[in-house]
Amino acid sequence: MILTVTLNTALDITYRVRSLRPHASHRVSEVAERPGGKGVNVARVLAALGHEVTVTGFAGGGTGREIRDRLAGTPGLTDALVPVAGATRRTIAVVDELSGDTTQLNEPGPQIEPAEWGAFLDRYEELLGGASAVALCGSLPPGVPVGAYANLVRTARSAGVPVLLDTSGEPLRRGVAARPDIVKPNADELAELTGSHDPLRATQDARRRGAHAVVASLGPDGLLAVTPEGRWRAAPPAHIPGNPTGAGDSAVAGLLSGLVENLPWPDRLTRAVALSAATVRAAAAGEFDRAAYEELRGQVAVTGAVSAA
């Protein structure tokens, strides 16, 4: 079983409009709603790939109930979310059909009380006992300690469970120091962490700060991986138009599934880039276009070599 942690779950709502203009009213042509938050997106992709996956984190209020109801119909996915008094947040993605651009609006999330945080920690330790790997993903809701991910990384390592960390800001800085197996920042998060805007230099610096391997997401340019086994770049064949919401989460699913399947790094990166690009092509956040994924797997370009990183 693969465990994904989403401390700040969300109901992802995607609106499609012909052209998004400031200070104007818009007629929405299509609405899609899906359970969301980074780890939930990762879990749905893993389940679609055939892995047994368990989702934990927090869920509360009417939005939380809706998320749990929707997750209940996902084959291969087990809901282990911890109930809280506050209402789970919503995220809004507005897709401009004319330009293909997406505007994202993210609510902060519910206030988590100390007793609720304690209940989650108990659930997390229990779930690690049956996990082959764990992904720690996304933002922290109000009330959760800023060092939460560092604590969760150390707990996973003590249990002998490989851990992937995908967050930003101070939670990322503290989490990296706890020595996760894989860290997957995007270019902006990497620059904030290291102070360098050169992807290779910043990725190497992130490894020196404690991460076993660092896979940097470079947007349309694909992924850069610096690992103990070597250094690689992986890129899609061309710019992929569409909605990028959830593309990074699909990349995490590709990396995590490759880890538990013991695939070599080039194969993990190929899968991650193809899934990410296929997610951009999908109609709604947190899904991927399976036909596009199968097509793109054979077109991802991976360069690099096995060597000491």
Mean pLDDT of 270-292: 81
Residue 89 is predicted with a pLDDT of 94
d(CA 5, CA 66): 18
- Is 90 exceeded by the pLDDT of residue 42? yes
Predicted pLDDT at 183: 97
Residue 117 CA neighbour count, 13 Å, CB half = 17
By the 10 Å C-beta count (0-12 exposed, 13-18 middle, 19+ buried), 121 is classed as: middle
Residue 63 in tokens: 């939005």
The predicted structure's pLDDT at residue 286: 62
- pTM of the complete model: 0.90
In this structure, what token pair is assigned to residue 30? Answer: 């299509």
Helix (H) or strand (E) run with residue 214 in it? strand 213-217
Whether residue 259 has pLDDT greater than 80 = yes
From the candidates 12, 79, 249, 289, which is the catalytic residue?
A: 249
Residue 166 half-sphere exposure toward CB, CA atoms < 13 A: 30
Mean pLDDT across the stretch 167-185? 96
Instruction: Check whether 138 has a pLDDT greater than 60.
Output: yes
Percent of the chain at pLDDT > 90 equals: 67
Please state the φ and ψ torsions of residue 246, each to the nearest 5 degrees: 90, -5
Q: What's the pLDDT at 34?
A: 87
pLDDT band at 52 (very low <50, low <70, confident <90, very high): very high
The CA distance from 214 to 270, in Å, is 16
Residue 306: pLDDT band (50, 70, 90) is low
> Taking 50 as the threshold, does the pLDDT of residue 169 lie above it?
yes
Distance separating alpha carbons of residues 40 and 91, to the nearest angstrom: 13
pLDDT at 240 over 80: no
Predicted confidence (pLDDT) at residue 309 exceeds the cutoff of 50: no
Average pLDDT taken over every residue of the chain: 91
Q: Which residue has the tokens 């922290």?
A: 140
Mean pLDDT across the stretch 158-184?
96
The pLDDT value given to residue 308: 47
The arithmetic mean of pLDDT across residues 90-114, rounded, is: 88
Is residue 249 annotated as a catalytic residue, yes or no? yes
Q: Is the pLDDT of residue 205 over 60?
A: yes
**pLDDT band, residue 284 (cuts 50/70/90):** low
pLDDT at 269: 95
- Token pair for 106: 């993210």
Whether the predicted pLDDT of 190 surpasses 80: yes
Q: Are 156 and 163 in contact (CB under 8 A)?
A: yes
